[in-house]
Chains A and B, each alone.
Chain A
Amino acid sequence: ETGVTQSPTHLIKTRGQQVTLRCSSQSGHNTVSWYQQALGQGPQFIFQYYREEENGRGNFPPRFSGLQFPNYSSELNVNALELDDSALYLCASSFGLRTYEQYFGPGTRLTVT
């Protein structure tokens, strides 16, 4: 059984650019949630995808968007990057809406300069 994987591990972008982060869910899981963890803070919920549809969103602007594919892997897209978008982005997968049984990936560290 493979765990949650994320790519890339690290990424450096310039303000105004666009970025795509990827997450492969754990085998058998059909729900992916994305979190942003700024330096010195706890992770904050961005949104969740369940069976390819968005199922809940946190307090993030529309330039944060996502996608879930038929194999339940997921992408997080951020347009018009701002310096404050620099953070560790974590994805977590679960089966159904059992948020209490989420498994987290290792994260992608995004630096915006």
Chain B
Amino acid sequence: DAKTTQPPSMDCAEGRAANLPCNHSTISGNEYVYWYRQIHSQGPQYIIHGLKNNETNEMASLIITEDRKSSTLILPHATLRDTAVYYCIVSSWAGNQFYFGTGTSLTVIP
């Protein structure tokens, strides 16, 4: 079962930052936080992952709280193509139980 909780939906104005929260209060010390997104009728796409430290790549930034019980995915300048369902997942590095919750449906508004 998914160990994460996310709001079901969010809106964001085009060009603004989209901040997507995720709660994972039962995360274990060896578990990473992964973010994926799924555009309608496609396979999920990897965005970013992290263990303790904040991470940034060309797609997004990941902010993990010090107690690791929650995190925020930041899309710095949302575009219409960022409209998708965003999934937050916690899993150990070599784990085979990669459970998706219901995710957050992000709508970027022109």
A and B pair up: no
Q: Which residues of A contact B (CB under 8 A)?
A: none
